[in-house]
Structure formats: structure tokens, C-alpha cells
Amino acid sequence: MSQKAVLVTGGAGYIGSHTVIELLEAGREVVVYDNLTNASYEAVRRIEKITGKKPIFYKADILDKKALLEVFSRHSIGSVIHFAGLKAVGESTQIPLDYYYNNITGTIILLQAMKEANVKNIVFSSSATVYGEPPIIPIPETCPTDAKSPYGRTKLFVEHVIRDLCTAEKDWNAALLRYFNPAGAHPSGILGENPTGIPNNLMPYFAQVAIGKRECLSVFGNDYPTRDGTCIRDYIHVVDLAQGHLAALKKLEEKPGCVEYNLGTGIGSTVLEMVKAFNKAVGRELPYKITDRRPGDVPNLTADPTKANKELGWKVKFTLDEACASLWKWQSENPDGLEGYPSEAPAECVLDYLH
Ligand code: NAD
Ligand code: UD1
């Protein structure tokens, strides 16, 4: 029996595009659905360059139920991997309504369309940020949740929405994947994270220091209760993270109801350890200075990935050095990311009933 297609919302973005590559390479049919607010159509071309397969693509919004229903009617879709969302923590404190509308209302509209189309399997991009400042390290999924920003609350709220839906309607199945810190790029150097403006996150910022676009990395605080005073995070290679989604899709076939999984390595690294690891990949000492703490940062977010390892049969394969090397390959071979390439989708891919 042929497998049904997977709809990937946000599939032109950083984690989504890497997941689409893994899906295509595993022989799955993929329909990418992205409004390109934080992505370029060039990412779809790069996916084709890497895999030799052209994913079906729609430039469309998850807030557009008519467009969603149109896509569900055109393709035989069995499950949805839902990456689409706004993701900048700082920005979410400035424009919380945009975040709540896009991430929560958008997901509710997606779930309504799925229900109408009788597609009841969803993999959702949650975040380690739902743990707030966790009392237990490494963090198990049973740890209490307490998101600290509007962005984090959108993730937590959507988790509740999906859990409530699965409780009320037993034919739904969901994997809520709590990502730790994605890092690195596709090992080919053809695709990677493509931040617009000044990167908020550590590794894309540091990569721009390495190519000379930024002067110096600011290390936000060295007075945390950690081994060298800088914050600890669990950096996971984006290809390992992508593979976690394939494992979660497979899990949904067992009809598990609603399940949460940490996708992390179980190994924490401090900011200064990351500096050292990336220096090694680049082959020279990059400049950094210690500055004040960034408001909202917590000392340590390290995953306990045991549940995902056991129940999904998934384990990370790449090392931190490999993540750093792939990031450097991507950044040095594409100093401007995907800038300068046509970013617009072909007109025949555009579905827009909102405007
Ligand atoms: P990204 O911004 O690269 O990808 C998100 C994609 O969603 C973008 O391509 C954007 O154009 C699209 N999008 C946004 N709103 C949309 C809408 N209304 N309709 C259609 N498309 C829309 O981000 P990413 O880093 O790939 O993250 C993917 C998901 O994982 C997000 O939900 C994010 O919150 C979550 N997440 C990311 C991280 C991280 O560190 N990158 C960590 C934890 C969770
Ligand atoms: C942040 C978000 C998280 C989100 C993720 C991806 C917070 C509290 N968390 O994770 O919800 O899912 O981004 O968007 O904002 N650092 C520096 N200098 C820099 C940048 C970062 O020292 O220029 C430090 C930070 O203090 C942190 C670590 O590096 O300790 C990682 O930061 P970052 O990459 O921004 O990720 P998180 O803050 O963990």
C-alpha cells in the first residue's frame, strides 16, 4: 500500500527544510506549505538540489482555512508536521498579539481544516522553552511547565489545545516535540539557517562573526551557577532533529494518542565551550567579550532524551564538532545565506484567500 503524503507547514524554514530533505530521502511524498514570511523560495530549490526531488510547494498561510482545505482536497495527505510559526522570543514581548494570533489561532485553524479533511495525525514543533527554569536537570518530559515569554506561552498553549483535542476525540494522534537548541546545517553546505537581520541566537550570530559580518560575539553573562559561569544548553544537530520527526511520524502509526518528547542530545554545553568548539571548526580564535546577562535566560536547559530514545527508537548521530563544522561549511560557502537569489514563489504555487 502506498503511503500518504505528509503536509509540512513551515517547510521552507530552517528546521522544516531539513526535515523535508530527510522525508524525501526516505521516499515520502511531501507537500510544503509556507507563507515565506521568514523563508525564501530558494530553500525549496536547494531541497531539490540536495535530494534530486522537487517537493510540491504552496505559498499559503495557516490562517487561511480555505487554502488549507484546497490543499487537503488536492492531495492525499495522511499526517501534518507543523513547523509554521513566529519564533523570536524578544520580538514576542513587543508584538504579543501577532504571536498569539499567528501561532495559536493559526494552529487552531490548521486543526479545524485537518478535522474537516479527516487528517488526524500531527507532529507539533514545541520547545524546551515550555520548561521555564526547570527544577530538574537533565529535564524529563514530566517536569512542570512554565513558559516565561509570549512566544513560550504560544507553544505551551498549543500543546494544551492539541492534548485537549486528543482527549476529546480518540481518533487523533499527536507528537509534541520539545526541541532543545538546533544547530548546524545540511552537511552538503547547500542549505542551512538563513536568519534575516541581526541573528538573535548564539550559533548563527557567531557564524556571522566568523565571516566578518559582525565584529565580536557578546557572551551574555558569566556569573551563572554553571561550571564556567556561562549558560548551558543542549545543542542538537539539525539533521538529527529532522530525523526525530521521521521517528515521530512512525510512532503516530501506532495510534499513541497525544505524547510529548524531548528532542535533545542529553549533553549540555556552556557558551564558552561552544566558542571553543566553533573556533576549532573555523580554525582560528574568534573574538568574544563578556557582557551583561540577557533578560529571560535560564542557567541550564539540558534534555533527558530517554523517552524519545526508547519509544521512538531515535538517537542523535552527529557530534557537536560535526554540527559546528556543518555550520561553518554552510556559512563560509554562502556568506549571504540565501540573499540575492529569487525569493518569490512561482505564481502557480500561490494560494491566498485572505487578501
Ligand atoms: P523558521 O522561522 O525558519 O521556520 C518557520 C517557518 O514558518 C518559516 O518558513 C515561516 O515563513 C513559516 N510561517 C510562519 N508563520 C506562518 C503562517 N502563518 N503560515 C504559513 N507559514 C508560516 O523557524 P525554525 O527555526 O525552522 O522553527 C520551526 C518551528 O520550530 C517553529 O514553530 C519554532 O517556534 C519551533 N522551534 C524552533 C527552535 C529553534 O531554535 N529554531 C526551537 C524550538 C522550537
Ligand atoms: C532561544 C529561546 C527559545 C527559542 C530558541 C530558538 C530564550 C529564553 N529562549 O533559546 O525559546 O526556542 O532561542 O529561537 O530566549 N548567547 C550569547 N550571545 C548571543 C546569543 C546567545 O551569549 O549573542 C547565549 C544565551 O545567553 C544562551 C545561549 O547563548 O545561554 C543560547 O542562546 P540562543 O541561541 O539565543 O538560544 P536560547 O536562548 O537557548
The reported pTM is 0.98
pLDDT at 209 over 90: yes
Q: Which among 33, 41, 131, 151 is annotated as catalytic? A: 151
| Bridge partner residues of 58 (DSSP) | 33
Residue 3 has what pLDDT? 86
Determine how β-strand 288-291 pairs with β-strand 181-183: unpaired
CA dist 226 and 271 (Å) reads: 11
- State if residue 84 touches ligand 1 by the CB under 6 angstroms criterion: yes
**Cβ proximity of 108 and 155 under 8 Å:** no
Nearest CA to ligand 2 atom 8: 297
What would the grid cell of residue 91 be?
520580538
Helix ranges (H only) for the chain are 14-25, 42-51, 65-74, 89-94, 96-99, 106-116, 150-168, 202-210, 238-252, 271-282, 306-312, 320-333
Domain CATH for 326: 3.40.50.720
Give residue 106's domain range: 5-349
Residue 243 has what pLDDT? 98
- The answer to whether residue 186 is domain-embedded is yes
- The number of the ligand 1 atom at minimal distance from the alpha carbon of 60 is 20
| Cα–ligand 1 centroid distance for 328 (angstroms) | 22
Q: How many domains does the chain have?
A: 1
Nearest CA to ligand 2 atom 21: 202
Mean pLDDT to the nearest integer, 135-156 = 96
| Cα–ligand 1 centroid distance for 235 (angstroms) | 18
- The answer to whether residue 354 is domain-embedded is no
Nearest CA to ligand 1 atom 29: 83
- The answer to whether residue 105 is domain-embedded is yes
Is 214 in a helix, a strand, or coil?
Answer: coil
| Cα–ligand 1 centroid distance for 227 (angstroms) | 32
- The answer to whether residue 255 is domain-embedded is yes
| Cα–ligand 2 centroid distance for 25 (angstroms) | 31
- Select from 26, 23, 43 the least CA-distant residue to 34: 43
- The answer to whether residue 56 is domain-embedded is yes
pLDDT band of residue 2 (cuts 50, 70, 90) is low
Residue 58 designated active-site: no
Residue 90 has what pLDDT? 92
Residue 1 has what pLDDT? 44
Residue 159 has what pLDDT? 98
Looking at all shown ligands, the one closest to residue 299's CA atom is 2
- The answer to whether residue 232 is domain-embedded is yes
| Cα–ligand 1 centroid distance for 83 (angstroms) | 5
Nearest CA to ligand 2 atom 33: 201
- The answer to whether residue 355 is domain-embedded is no
**Cβ proximity of 232 and 180 under 8 Å:** no
Residue 40 has what pLDDT? 96
What are 306-342's pLDDT values in tens digits?
A: 999 999 999 999 999 999 999 999 999 999 999 999 8
What are 42-97's pLDDT values in tens digits?
A: 999 999 999 999 999 999 999 999 999 999 999 999 999 999 999 999 999 999 99
**DSSP conformation letters of 295-322:** TT--SEE-B--HHHHHHH-------HHH
Looking at all shown ligands, the one closest to residue 44's CA atom is 1
What are 153-202's pLDDT values in tens digits?
A: 999 999 999 999 999 999 999 999 999 999 999 999 999 999 988 999 99
Determine how β-strand 232-233 pairs with β-strand 269-270: antiparallel
CA dist 142 and 159 (Å) reads: 14
What are 266-310's pLDDT values in tens digits?
A: 999 999 999 999 999 999 999 999 999 999 899 999 999 999 999
Percent of the chain as helix, strand, coil, to the nearest 5: 40, 20, 40
Tally of CA atoms within 13 A in the half-sphere of 326 that contains its CB: 22
Nearest CA to ligand 1 atom 43: 127
- The answer to whether residue 294 is domain-embedded is yes
